[in-house]
Chain A
């Protein structure tokens, strides 16, 4: 089967939707030359009005997309770095997200926000290494973090077709992933539906985005010790597939969450809260996250020390198996 990279999958989804639907257009900084490769080849195929280079004016072009959506188009914005989402939080959380309710359902705002390269991009330090998906989930903006090339394709497709605003976080650590993919099988992946990435019976590990690779590797390692790990990839942070998660936890009765965002009020905290409310566990659930209020330091060893990783995950799974708090 041919190989498809995660980044190429996003690019392909964008190209397919631009071709399928005249109302779709892409805007962002340096998208015509495809500085990030997300939009590679699209300007030549679709022209400058469908692939629109913007000046450095994130706040204006984010609201511009809202206006274009109100007028019937389906904009896809590429953000060059994840921290730009802090700059446009107003425009997404306070404008795009709120328009439908505030107008009593007179409009919808079908804008997609794509961040190709969220989280740590080794050596990019404090202002380029955030992975702020939990913020958007908290305000109720639909938020997806694909883990595989097929999901990157399918979730971006669904995000563009969705009539609500959707943020698509493509983790830097996942962009290079290449999978064997049957191109015939590529298609939309519904928002809000998770996936069991590996069956197991002892512990459910919830892992998102690039951390899915770590979870699967940890599961391989533990399998050698006779421990059976089920890996659940929620794919969508908001809305969360609580039923899918519940089905997995019903089999394993133990839960560990690995989440590349800060601990307090993070995604892992939400999953643990759901577990406390709804699941019947035989051991206290645990989470592996960035520390509270973390800012990624520059020096490589420090950067790594702050990110949740495989060793922490292994230790945490073992602790849960022992019933430790």
Chain B
């Protein structure tokens, strides 16, 4: 993975998110989104360490993970707009985006839920003789969900090839991590017998290096690794917050947090011309994506419960 490829991913996610926020404001995206702005280096670095057939599980703040795993931005944007051409045919939206063809087993809106799904999937692939690794993303808030801690136990106990990626952005909505987590995040993971590291989550190359080691370990049968990636959420918890203007972060804190911008950190590693070329390429890609999404059909209301069952004759 070259520096410009990593830059391309963080820049793509950043600009995708900024455009998506614009579409929330203009009403094209209904219901709002949880912006990933500021945290792009984690998705980019983790997914760069994975093979195409490896799988991920994601969260309510999942656009970055899904894009970094290779999803088509046009179909992703169409999904956010609830269009039939979306990744999930408009049935999932922002918090459930999935692309099984790319190993994206779905964003999940229940905090802490997906760690056990990733563990089960990775275990099942191993049982089928495939050396697939799962990476599971979650926030610092999820570290207090019992179900996730149960998943750590199962994964460590059975040496499941999974990488747990905790994106510690300092807050669960408005709850600061210091007020929420007793002990330490990595300490909790280590208690289950997993190696656990704290990584600079603003630097895509550092995330990539740490994840590559964890993936190699998992693939060679030595079980799970836990990565705490320290990061900062530049934008609101959810775009609702743009209207409610919750007051829980000081201006000073915001400017300090935003001063370590993953797009700038990675961008500085590129020659100016190359960087400008990547930027231009991404704008063109996202222009096309927006055109595609806006021009796509809305699903037929008569098909509202399509896909509910594998055998559809159930309903009356």
Contacts and interface: CB of A to CB of B under 8 A. Distances in A.
Given A103-B88, A104-B91, A95 B150 contact: no
B98 A64 contact: no
A102 B106 contact: yes
B87 interface: yes
A122 to B, nearest CB: 32
A108 B100 CA distance: 11
Nearest to A58: B150
Contacts of B57: 67
B278 interface: no
Contact of B113 (A25, A95, A100, A238): A95
B106 A57 contact: no
B314 to A, nearest CB: 4
A57 B305 contact: no
Contacts of B154: 54-55, 57, 60-61, 64
A65 interface: yes
A100 B309 contact: yes
A112 to B, nearest CB: 13
Contact of B120 (A55, A65, A90, A142): A65
Contact of A60 (B91, B92, B96, B151): B151
Given A67-B105, A108-B310, A103 B117 contact: no
B9 to A, nearest CB: 23
Contacts of A192: 313-314
Interface stretch (A68-76, A250-258, A259-267, A285-293): A68-76
B125 A107 contact: no
Contact of A64 (B89, B125, B151, B306): B151
A66 B119 CA distance: 10
A105 interface: yes
B310 A164 contact: yes
Contacts of B125: 71
A94 interface: yes
A245 to B, nearest CB: 12
A5 B103 CA distance: 44
A242 interface: yes
B121 interface: yes
Interface string B243-280: 00000000000000000000000000000000000000
23 contacts: A55-B154, A59-B146, A60-B115, A60-B147, A61-B150, A66-B116, A66-B117, A67-B116, A67-B117, A70-B100, A70-B105, A70-B121, A71-B122, A71-B124, A95-B113, A100-B310, A103-B92, A103-B307, A104-B89, A105-B306, A106-B98, A164-B309, A239-B313
Interface of A: 25, 49, 54-55, 57, 59-73, 75, 90-91, 94-95, 99-108, 110, 140, 142, 162-164, 192, 238-239, 242
- Sorted nearest first, the 4 A-B pairs with minimum C-beta distance are A67-B120, A104-B89, A60-B150, A163-B310
